[in-house]
Structure 1
Amino acid sequence: MYNILFYILCVLVSTGCITYLVLCIRFVYGFKHYKPVFSFKKRTVSVVIAARNEAKNLQDLLLCLLNQDYPSELFEVILADDDSEDETAEVANKYIEAGLNLHYLKITGRENVLSPKKKALEDAVYTAQGEIILSTDADCIVPTTWISSMVSLFTDDVSMVAGYSRTLLPDWKKASLVQKYEHLDYALSYIALAGCYTIGKSWACVGQNLAYRRSAFYDVGGFSKIKHLLSGDDVNLLQLMRNKGYKIIFNFSPSSFVYTQPIQSWKQLINKRSRWTSNMKYQLKFNPEFYFILFSLACLYWGGLIMLFFNYKLALFILAYRIIIENIIFNFPRSRFGITKEIMKFYPVWLIIQSFFLVFTMILGQFNIFVWHGKRPNNKRNKNANRNL
């Protein structure tokens, strides 16, 4: 029995190793040969923001939007207030008076829906007049070139543009351990995702920096097919559009990069990543290829840890193999994503934590053990509705 388990483990880990190697070769080739195509056509834009009790952070975001270099007559901002209990409305009125073309929507009835954020975003999109929908979160900070940079990639055949988001750490040395881990993990994950885009694979994105055609949103039925899922207003929407044949690309320009606020505790990070990984199980129907990639990498990560109980020398070899592959993948494009040599010195610490952290949060995510804006997933509803995806 012992030998059978060992051989099964070797097969699974080998699958992950081969997948890693193939992705490494394809990503390096993709980054070297990727050439973006730009459009100089000015399009109307609707920036949509869903916010709940984000009055403090919202002021910074609205100030950034007020100072965009994009023609003010060509964009509007729609703030969907998810029944906030703070001064969100007052902040919105302040910037309306300052001249920002902002439309304030008060969203109610969050207790009657599983995913209040999806409802807020959907109401905002249905109110929007722009050809392009540009979304971000209320706690983000966008550059003054954000709108113009994202719009510039909408050639006539492009329907969605995914962007880069990173945590805001003014002083790396003063950041806490969990904030350093989150920052580097964000960056390295994005490098992998961006590598996918260079070879024509749109597998994931985040709503903190995402743009898409309003017509495409309507065509896929908005969030109607994924409203039973508490999270995934970004990655699952991307999969709906991808399955419809829409072209999706990535914006590699630093003029489009967005900052988001760092978390303050491991508990917050565990909850956040468990929510993210909860969408993994739905990729089997949305995108089998992406699911296979995730499964293969999970075999490599989990298998490497389990191998310690069978053959520690082989486990160390697997670890060394992973380190070599990751350094090839990450070091080539890291300068594009603002990852300095000082930040990369944290890689060994990240590797140790990530090996266990990813496994832990994946397990929590598959059982929907997380909370988002006071809501917990309805596992029974998710199971029944998933059959209709």
Structure 2
Amino acid sequence: MLVSILLAVRNEEKNIKSCLDALSMQDFPLGVWEVWIGNDRSEDCSKEIILDFIKDKPHFKLIDIQDNLGQARYKGNVIAHLAHYAQGDYFLITDADMYVPPTWIRGMVKGFQQGKKIGVVTGFSLVRGKSLIAKLDGVDWVQNVGLMNIASMLKIPTNAMGNNMAVSKKAYWEMGGIENQPYMVCEDLIMFKGILAKGWDFVHLHSKEIVGISQPQANFCQLLQQRQRWLDGALRLPWYLLIPLLTNGLFLFVLLSLLFVVDWKISVGVWLLRFLLHSLTITFFAQKIHQTWVVKYLLSYEIFITFFNPLVFAYYLFPAAMEWKGKKE
């Protein structure tokens, strides 16, 4: 068995060294895993940092991405190119601003053993940062990924996490590769849907050994841009998932309607009920992945997310191009 790690890089001079350090410390046996790094025309010192790091590591390989492959664009295009070089039976995909633990390869590969025809394995990702916004964003990751995990337990397909996922090579090529799928800014959703359409199964993991830590967004505007991309993918979910998504995202207007049309006590009661449900979900998964620090921010998070989600919807409707690492769609 051989494992290939696929890593898309564009303008990541601040993060790439830490990411590569983490990948180099994997406790998986040398000789059975490789790292393919795709440099997507970086305009900073990313390439130089990568070349210096891999000069004595033959299992790390760098490819310059110069053109688009089929219908793939942006990060999806980098993954599409790297998949043609990768020799592994499994493709593990992460981001240049991620830190994965030494047990990551071993834990992700074990996910394929949970069923007869597992095509997609999703790890557990969250954000860690020093600012209050970064900490609340981290709680939001635990909440969102946790809900995806619950859906997985119920055998309801939602999505994968593009910074912490693995796909079977056989399933990936049965799908035809990203370049032969309809373009979507969320490359993880493209792979997830394409592989499941070929009859493959999926699993979401929630253990400490596969938790990936992502760097927070640099500012509030970039956080909105990230959520804009997420929402673009989420709005393509089936109607039975879209209705609760919209209800939760626009929950502020539900509260205001109850406040002014029905009774303020009902409005407060409904808000407290959602707070309780969120707290139970977040606490459960925080304990599972050994990230209990998030529990301290439950109340602050509930207040934050009540107002932040409608802002994301408003930003999504705003006539601005989506961006990935400085590239606009």
Which TM-score applies when normalising by structure 2? Answer: 0.90
Q: Deviations over 1:235-275 (max 9, x none)?
A: 23212222332110012221111111112322221111112
The equivalent residue for 2:94 is 136
The equivalent residue for 1:161 is 121
In 1, Cα distance between the equivalents of 2:189 and 2:142? 17
SS of the aligned residue for 1:205 comes to: coil
Q: CA deviation at 1:81?
A: 0.4
In 1, Cα distance between the equivalents of 2:228 and 2:23? 31
The equivalent residue for 1:347 is 298
Moved more, 77-86 or 216-225: 216-225
RMSD: 2.3
| Kept in 1: contact 2:11–2:325 (CA 8 A) | no
Picking from 251, 263, 269, the partner of 2:205 is: 251
Picking from 241, 247, 251, the partner of 1:290 is: 241
Q: Deviations over 1:129-183 (max 9, x none)?
A: 11100000011111111111111221242111100112234xxxxx222112111
Q: Deviations over 1:301-321 (max 9, x none)?
A: 542233333233332222122
Moved more, 301-310 or 97-106: 301-310
Q: CA deviation at 1:346?
A: 1.6
Equivalent positions of 1:1-389 (< 5 A) are 43-109=1-67, 115-155=73-113, 156-169=116-129, 175-224=130-179, 226-229=181-184, 231-283=185-237, 287-298=238-249, 300=251, 302-311=253-262, 312-340=264-292, 343-365=294-316, 369=320, 370-377=322-329
| Kept in 2: contact 1:118–1:227 (CA 8 A) | no
In 2, Cα distance between the equivalents of 1:116 and 1:192? 27
In 1, Cα distance between the equivalents of 2:280 and 2:96? 35
Instruction: Say which structure, 1 or 2, has more relative contact order (CA 8 Å, 6+ apart).
Output: 1
The structure-2 alpha-carbon separation of the partners of 1:299 and 1:141, relative to structure 1 and needing over 3 Å to count, comes to: closer
| Kept in 1: contact 2:5–2:34 (CA 8 A) | yes
Identity %: 24
Q: Deviations over 1:12-34 (max 9, x none)?
A: xxxxxxxxxxxxxxxxxxxxxxx
Q: Deviations over 1:180-211 (max 9, x none)?
A: 21111111222212111222223122111100
| Kept in 2: contact 1:276–1:365 (CA 8 A) | no
Gaps spanning 5+ residues in structure 2: where? none
Which TM-score applies when normalising by structure 1? Answer: 0.77
Structure showing greater radius of gyration is 1
| Kept in 2: contact 1:187–1:339 (CA 8 A) | no
Gaps spanning 5+ residues in structure 1: where? 1-42, 170-174, 378-389
